[in-house]
Amino acid sequence: MGVELATDRPGFYEMVDVDVSDSELVYHVRDALKSVSQGDSDHYNQLIAVMHYTGRLAPDEVAMLVTSLKALSGSISYIDIIHHESLLSSIFGMSMWNYGPDVMDALVELIISLAASNGKFVDSCLDMLVRNFMPPKSYLDLLGHPRGLARKHEVLDRVHSALSHIADLVPLAPMRLTPIILQRMPHMFDKEALIVIYVESMLLLESSALGELVGSTMLMALVDRLIDLDVEISWDDIIHEDSGKGIFDMELEDVDDIIDHAEIDGFEHPRGTAGSQILGTNAVADKLDSLMVLICEHLKSCADGERLTKVFETLLQSFWVTVLNAYKSKFSQFVMFYACSLDPEHCGERFAVFLADIFVCRTHPALTRMSAVAYLASYLSRGKFLPLSLIASTLKRLVDWCLEYCHVQNGEEKTINLEAHRVFYSGCQAIMYVLCFRMRSMMDSHRLKSQLLHMPLEPIFCHQLDPLKVCLPSIVEEFLRQAKAAHLFTVSETFLFNNLLESDLSKAFGGMERLDMFFPFDPCLLKKCDRFIRPSFVYWSMVKTTYDDGEDCSSEEDINEYFDGNGKSYMESGITRSLDEHDLDLDEFEYQLNKMSITPRNSLKNGLIFKLENPFRMPARIRPSTSPESL
């Protein structure tokens, strides 16, 4: 029994000057705990008071807290879940962010012992640790400072090692951990810093030893969260449906330039709002952006650690369940794009084959198949890292499927029910879209050229179902133009579309969801994660078309010139369909372009109407207008 000195200050350890051994303290605590059930709670309450020390603690307070925690660790079997409820709730309510390393260590030791000693405490202990993934709200601002960062590392190191210790002692703990983590995940309308720091811990868990057990759930929950945020960004902020601009218009390649213009205008936009010119709901877009950056960084580290193939399977599963059928996901799919770019041989190919399998499989719903082929077409066109052989073989698969479909249709119908054949039309459009991007490269390769020339494209496109009339006009036109230049096949009718971005026919097969206009891997508009995507992305301006004869050298130069040391690409003369043209400062455009002195000023002022035969179609890159358009 401890000796109680008569002092004025009521404290738990009143023998401050007396050298007390650890075991005596432990007995003291045990007595305090035991006496609660007998009705005497004085010492017990004093113990609870120690747990509630807050703010900047004096050294002796710290010492008291540490010794109390250690003594509690030694009296685990005396802690009763009912009698000592208030003590337990005090302990579980403690945030490690408020204390120094000594207290953190003692607290963690106590939590681990509690979890291992009694099954009833496991959930609460895990919950306490998961809550410590995030700092108290007041601490969030400090995270930017070095002191805050140091504290963050101190806390998270201990939290994660505690989780792994508990998993060692209680093998079924990871099973209980997963629902707790999912439950405690910050809501998507919470502060960005909070979401980011929580997701960091989730990804840490995925790569830790526990990752074997909880990793896939973490990733799937993250992709779900990406889609939740994605869906909150409305399409109206990005696209104007009546803009009348072609699919192959200039694309916004460098978001930096837009932001620079905003600053030149004379007023500084804070970092987030510069994006508001492009995306209306910038807060949500920023959150999505930050999360995607985190995931991309994590994927990179997985690739470095040679775990990517396994992680990719989980991602693929998640994509299939969540992203594929989400109504026109905007940016979340770039996570898949980046993962594929990290390992083109396995992941890159796997993704293409996966999408093609869904398209050809009859048991999937039509919308899923159409969505899959839209993803496939966009992916094959935009993936710089994809070998041409893969693109060719996948194309062949699509072509074979379409051909077989054509054979099955006997041609008895006078009027074609477009909706009934929508999967076919989406397949045809996909083929055309991919060939718009890749035809030139395929023709340049001897082997693939012969493969391409042997593909039965003519029977498909000239079939009674008439995909050339039904599919999106801008794609059809570009495709035909390139096909003619490459002498792929002869088309007797001339297809003239006057300023048609879409036709009623394509709308019919695209359905309410407008899957005829779904190009999922169009340039990513999120600024921060764009740097992961850009190196492996094919912009339309980079594409050499089959009618680009004699311009090879100059176009090469052009490209080199335009990617200067700053990494800024040249500003094309067009406005992308991502921007409302009135928002843009045309003067700045002109300034940039005149610097390069390529296109006459007039063209710009007229709102991008070129003196060409096909007024609506923009050339893919800036060229002197005297270049012959050979058709």
Torsion of CA 606, 609, 612, 616, to 10 degrees: -160
Distance CA 600, CA 584 (A): 19
**Which of residues 264 and 361 has its CB atom nearest to another protein in the complex?**
361
**Which of residues 122 and 436 has its CB atom nearest to another protein in the complex?**
122
Distance CA 320, CA 313 (A): 11
Q: Which two tokens stand for residue 37?
A: 């059930």
Q: Residue 118 interacts with another protein (CB under 8 A)?
A: yes
In the complex, the smallest distance separating the C-beta of residue 23 from another protein, rounded to whole angstroms, is: 8
In the complex, the smallest distance separating the C-beta of residue 169 from another protein, rounded to whole angstroms, is: 5
Q: Which two tokens stand for residue 244?
A: 């009348």
Does residue 54 come out as left (phi exceeding 0), alpha (psi in the -120 to 50 range) or beta?
beta
Q: Residue 457 interacts with another protein (CB under 8 A)?
A: no
Distance CA 137, CA 186 (A): 12
In the complex, the smallest distance separating the C-beta of residue 157 from another protein, rounded to whole angstroms, is: 20
Do 331 and 525 meet the contact criterion of CB atoms below 8 Å apart? yes
Out of 48, 50, 70, 75, the only residue in the binding site for another protein (CB under 8 A) is 75
**Which of residues 75 and 217 has its CB atom nearest to another protein in the complex?**
75
Among the residue ranges 3-11, 53-61, 115-123, 558-566, the one whose residues contact another protein (CB under 8 A): 115-123
Among the residue ranges 117-125, 146-154, 215-223, 263-271, the one whose residues contact another protein (CB under 8 A): 117-125
In the complex, the smallest distance separating the C-beta of residue 26 from another protein, rounded to whole angstroms, is: 8
Give the x-and-dash track for 24-53 against another protein (CB under 8 A): --x---------------------------
Please report, as residue ranges, which positions from 332 to 351 form the binding site for another protein (by CB under 8 A): none
**Which of residues 112 and 406 has its CB atom nearest to another protein in the complex?**
112
Q: Residue 116 interacts with another protein (CB under 8 A)?
A: yes
Distance CA 258, CA 542 (A): 20
Do 117 and 158 meet the contact criterion of CB atoms below 8 Å apart? no
**Which of residues 22 and 345 has its CB atom nearest to another protein in the complex?**
22
Surface-to-core class of residue 97, CB atoms within 10 Å of its CB (0-12 exposed, 13-18 middle, 19+ buried): buried
Out of 5, 58, 149, 172, the only residue in the binding site for another protein (CB under 8 A) is 172
Among the residue ranges 118-126, 479-487, 503-511, 554-562, the one whose residues contact another protein (CB under 8 A): 118-126
In the complex, the smallest distance separating the C-beta of residue 88 from another protein, rounded to whole angstroms, is: 16
Q: Residue 171 interacts with another protein (CB under 8 A)?
A: yes
Among the residue ranges 70-78, 153-161, 190-198, 373-381, the one whose residues contact another protein (CB under 8 A): 70-78
Do 11 and 67 meet the contact criterion of CB atoms below 8 Å apart? no
Q: What value does the CA radius of gyration of the chain take, rounded to a whole number of Å?
A: 32
Give the x-and-dash track for 95-114 against another protein (CB under 8 A): ------------------x-
How many residues sit in the footprint of another protein (CB under 8 A)? 20
Quickly tell me which residue has 């449906």 as its tokens: 241
Q: Residue 411 interacts with another protein (CB under 8 A)?
A: no
In the complex, the smallest distance separating the C-beta of residue 133 from another protein, rounded to whole angstroms, is: 22
Distance CA 47, CA 199 (A): 35
Q: Residue 83 interacts with another protein (CB under 8 A)?
A: no
Distance CA 167, CA 126 (A): 10
Q: Residue 365 interacts with another protein (CB under 8 A)?
A: no
Do 576 and 252 meet the contact criterion of CB atoms below 8 Å apart? yes
Q: Residue 169 interacts with another protein (CB under 8 A)?
A: yes
**Number of C-alpha atoms within 13 angstroms, CB side, residue 52?**
11
What's phi and psi for 383, nearest 5 deg?
Answer: -85, 105
Do 28 and 71 meet the contact criterion of CB atoms below 8 Å apart? yes
Q: Which two tokens stand for residue 575?
A: 């406005």
Do 473 and 506 meet the contact criterion of CB atoms below 8 Å apart? yes
How many helices (H) and strands (E) in the chain?
Answer: 27, 0
Q: Residue 74 interacts with another protein (CB under 8 A)?
A: yes
Q: Residue 598 interacts with another protein (CB under 8 A)?
A: no
Please report, as residue ranges, which positions from 416 to 455 form the binding site for another protein (by CB under 8 A): none
Q: Could you list the residues that contact another protein (CB under 8 A)?
A: 26, 73-77, 113, 116-120, 122, 168-172, 175-176
